[in-house]
Amino acid sequence: MTEWSCKYEVTVVMELKQVLQEARRKKGLTQQQVADMLDVTLRTYQRYESGTRRMSLETAVLLSEILGVDVRDLAQRQSRSA
């Protein structure tokens, strides 16, 4: 992996993190509340939000509905961070 590609991947993960955090905060939700709505543990949601764990398409769709974010945007950001 080149230095450039490594930096690019970190940037993409940060973008996903920023999108999720910003949308969650705009809705006035805590990480625990979103985790409960997704029926996952707090730690699992924290890993989704930090980009250290990939979510299923089903989870991405549900999360997009909860946060009011376009699911295609979440999927694209997640796939680029892999």
Residue 39: Cβ-neighbour burial (10 angstroms; 0-12, 13-18, 19+): exposed
What's the pLDDT at 71?
82
**Banded model confidence at residue 8, pLDDT cuts 50, 70, 90:** very low
Euclidean distance between CA atoms 42 and 7, whole angstroms? 28
Q: What is the mean pLDDT of residues 57-63?
A: 92
pLDDT tens for residues 65-75?
A: 999 988 877 76
pTM above 0.95, yes or no: no
Q: According to the model, what pLDDT value does residue 17 have?
A: 83
The pLDDT, as a whole number, for residue 13 is 53
CA angle 22, 34, 73 (to 5 degrees): 50
Once rounded to an integer, what is the mean pLDDT over residues 46-60? Answer: 90
